[in-house]
Structure 1
Amino acid sequence: MDWEKHSTPAERAVDERPPEGCLVAAIRIPVRIVVLVLVVPVRLVWDALAVGGRLAWERGLLPLARGAGLLLRAVFVAPVVWLWARVLAPAARAVGAALTWTGKALFVWPWVALWRYVLAPVGRGVRVVALWVWWTGVVAPVAWWYRHVMTPIGRGLGWLTGVVGAGLADVGRGITWMASGVRFGFVSAGRGIAWLGGVVWAGLASARRGLRAGGGWLLRALFVRPWVWLYTRALVPLGHGIAWLARGLAKAGRGLTAGLVALLRACVVVPAVWFYAHALTPLGGGVTLLARGTATAVVWLSKALFVRPWVWLHRHALVPLGSATSLFCKVLGAQLAVVARTLGTGLAWLSKALFVWPWVALWRHAVAPAGRGLAWLGRGIWAGVTLLGRGLRTVPSTLVRWIFVVPAVAVWRWGLVPLGRALVVLAREAGDALGHAWRVAGHVSRAVGRFLGRLLRWIFVDPVRWAYRSVCTPLGHVVRDSVWRPAARAAKDAGRTARQAVEGARETVRQARRDAWRALVGGGPVPEPREPVGRLARTLGSTTTVPSAAPEPEISLHKQG
């Protein structure tokens, strides 16, 4: 067997190390032999303990734990579950139902009854009264006022507005016609003047060299003065007339607006103010008084039903009970405080006497003087060392170096370092030898285990198996065929015979009873009871596979239907 076939990464790293000297090899082989001799028994014991522990866990502790779990479940969990399912849960549901019913009876149903039988009818009555008052006091007068006052006034105002609008439309159309005429005159005059200007300009263009001296006067006479005269004598009076007409129309509009405003004030505003002051205000005051009275009654009833009983209960029951409980708690608290204060004082004094005062005395009378003495001694030594250092300052440091440093370096370099390397090599070899020996011991333990298993199989299992197959099985077959089956067949025959005898006795008793009844009472022959006859067996002609079954006659399928 190749034990080094499957090497680990650590082993591969060890194998890849550079070769070492013969001294290491000479140490490695004896160390591995000794370690192997020491480790093999330990590995055998370890494997035996592991197998025994696994067998004990799988065959003993695990079933025992499962049985203990089932036992604990049957002893503790099942009774608790049964107690909860059969006792606590129904009791909790019953208590919950009782608390629910009590809560509804105390807090829900009174409010529901108050709402259903008091507040809702009162609210419906108040709603009916308010609707009637609103309809009678507000809606009907407003409708009458709108139908018999506002509608005729609105129609009159509409007719007057239509007449005034028609007059204003006629005036606007006249002004529009006048403006159109003026515009047409201006346009015609402008066109004539433009034509004349074109002709004159053409003449002036042909004769401007000769008439330059008198052209200015002629131009003023022909163009400037006519336009000035037209503006002064025609356009200005026409503008004044249009402005006077516009001012007159504005005055007429202001007078018409003032009349309409006065008419609307007299027809709408004054009656509305009077109606609000003498109708709606008293009606609103009455509705307010009615609402206040209803609210006062509802509030008084609510206080009498729900507030005052609880106030009386709080004032005459809960407050005295709370005062008595508070007084009792205060007295008890005062007593407990006195006891606790006394006990705390005693425990504090005892604690100080046991733990504080001894340490304080030790610190004050022993540690502090000793510390002061040591401090004084240290200061003296430090002063002496300082003086000695100052005195030896001239001594070269070479003496110290050769006395302390050089020997220490030599010991480290030529003693400790080789010794450490040797110890490292020895520890590494011991670890490698221990791992190698542990793996070899594992293989040895496995081989020993297989040998012992095969030996136990040869000694115990194979003989028992051979005895079971070659002795017990044929013997059991013989016993079964020679003893059990004949005994079972005889028992069945005996049972069948006993049943037939019992049936014969029953039939004899029935027949004797019928004969005795017929001899005493009389009557015709009683039909003999017999077994019910079933339907004949269905076969194909004379050929049948049912023993003792009479064949039924063949029926054609065409005859059946």
Structure 2
Amino acid sequence: MDLEKPARPPAAAPAGEGCLVVAVRVPVRIVVLVLVVPVRMAWDALVVAGRSLNDTLLRPLGRALPWVGRAVFVWPFAGLWRYVLVPSGKGLAWLGKVLVVLPAVALHRHVLTPLGRGAVWVYARVLTPVGHVLAAIGAGVRTGALWLGRCLVVVPSAWLYRWVLAPVGRAAVRCAKGLARLVETVVAGIGTGLYRGARILLVLPALAVWHRVLAPVGRVLAVVAREVGDALGHAWRVAGYVSIAVGRRLGTLLRRVFVEPARWVHRSVLTPVGHVVRDAVLRPLGDAARAVGRATRQALAAARASVRRARADLRRTLLGGQTGAERKPQLTHRREPNGPRTRTLDGSTTALTKD
């Protein structure tokens, strides 16, 4: 069976497109492909990194955070509410009921209610009639006071205002208006004279000085200031170029004086010296240290073996018999087969095949 796909015939150009369009399209697609491939590769790398970060860190952390939150916040507060606050609230409620509510109810029932009923009786039977009598007396006193005040105050005041104060006030208003017109006329004349004098003595000379002296001098100073500003800007730019050139020269000088010699010393002196020290000193010292360690371990092993043998000899001397190293396991004769062999007629333990 042929697994290869059959070769497709070359696609014909769509109707209305010539060779020029195809010749332009191919380079454009190549350039776009060259530009898009790195972006796509970077995007895929970011996607893979994000998924790995999500699977290895964010998702386990997200699963652990609710449990930690419950363990740190929910469970302690739930236990505090259930085992501390609720019993304390119930105890405080019972204590408040016993110490406050029941005494208050008893006080209201046996003290305040009788007092209130007595106060209502006193108000209805004593205070209300007394209040009615006092109200009648007050109404009579008020009526008499109003009539007396009208006769003694209102009528004389109205007569005095109508026949004395009103004519005097009208005459005073007319005098004040005439005096105000006189003062206004005098002040207007004085103001006109001062204005004309100030215009002649101050304004016209100031205008002449401004037009003849200050304006030309200001134009000259503006031209000078503009030229100075332009010169400063040009000098600032030239100074910037000079500063850049000097900085580059100083950088080149510092690189040639410090950086390149230091790099040469590191490359030509310190690196070979370090290699020599590593090969001639550090590596032999490491080999010697490892050899000393091996010899020390071997000596310690030999010493432990000697101590073990001495202890075994001492035990054999004191207790007698063979040592643990010299003892051999004693084989016992058993009727059962030794090992995982299957039972046969020769090895059976039944009564028919026993020896």
Alignment TM-score, normalising by the size of structure 2: 0.39
More helix by share: 1
Higher relative contact order (CA 8 A, sep 6+): 1
Alignment TM-score, normalising by the size of structure 1: 0.26
- Structure with higher Rg: it is 1
